[in-house]
Amino acid sequence: MAIFTGSGVAIVTPMRGDGSVNYEKFTELVEFQIREGTDAIIVCGTTGEASTMSHEEHLDVIRHCVEVVNGRVPVIAGTGSNCTETAVYLSQEAEKYGVDGLLLVSPYYNKATQNGLYTHFKKVADSVKTPILLYNVPSRTGGNILPQTIVRLCRDCENIVGVKEASGNIVQIGQLAALARGSVDIYSGNDDQIVPILSLGGKGVISVLANVAPRQTHEICAKYFAGDTEGSCRMQLEAMELCGALFCEVNPIPVKKALNLMGMGAGSLRLPLTDMEEENAARLEKAMRAYGILN
């Protein structure tokens, strides 16, 4: 059984002016997501700026998320690292808090071989019992988890159950689906490819868009699963301009700006991320107004 189906939000981590985590605003964002129908919360991923958190802070945010959600929807914690021992440590600690799943990004900078990736992920999986999703995002990590490696891991490790596919390569994702034959739960890691990946048997999306449009992102998936492929496709196409604006600068710069425009108090970014360029901010605001999430 999949950890979740539908729209899982890759939730931002709101910050105060001094760069500390704003737990009060984080609670508000989680409540907003649950109220608007989001199917799962993915905490401390790329969008959550986990790469600039200390281990203690990283784990505190995961713990807080689990406590606030309180079992209402699945919580999936980002615990990946380019250091295998660090990924093991973070995964074991997150498991103690009662997360429903772990999201493991492929080791970045190291650029491991496929055998290295297999060995890395297997070691983490063997250290915990919690279900695991791999996270394939070559644009950030410099490496690509090939379909054969993903299928091998899902077949050899009982608790590796699927992948967040953010390669953007729909041919490769199709090859994965064909090779897996249902043994891999595939989630879109790109908001502009939700419906294409659902059409290949995908289980849903781990979404940046859902931060600002949780109800709509949920409905894209819900309509597809209900057999309304035309309605799902229409909603996907309606969101394309906003999806583009949310990625016109590196994530999560635009989505934090969008939440602040909505009055949601996402706050500042941590260096080396900086505020959005004026021209791109204007593009984002225009797309949000066209989509109907700003007056």
Active-site residue numbers? 135, 164
Neighbours of 184 (CB within 10 A): 24
Cα–Cα distance measured from residue 277 to residue 272, given in angstroms and rounded to the nearest whole number: 14
Instruction: Return the structure tokens found at 149.
Output: 């490696």
Strand partners, 163: 134, 186
Q: Give the helix ranges, DSSP H, for 206-248.
A: 214-225, 229-238, 240-246
Work out the widest C-alpha separation in the chain, in whole angstroms.
51
3-state SS, residue 55:
helix
Dihedral of alpha carbons 243, 246, 248, 249, sign: negative
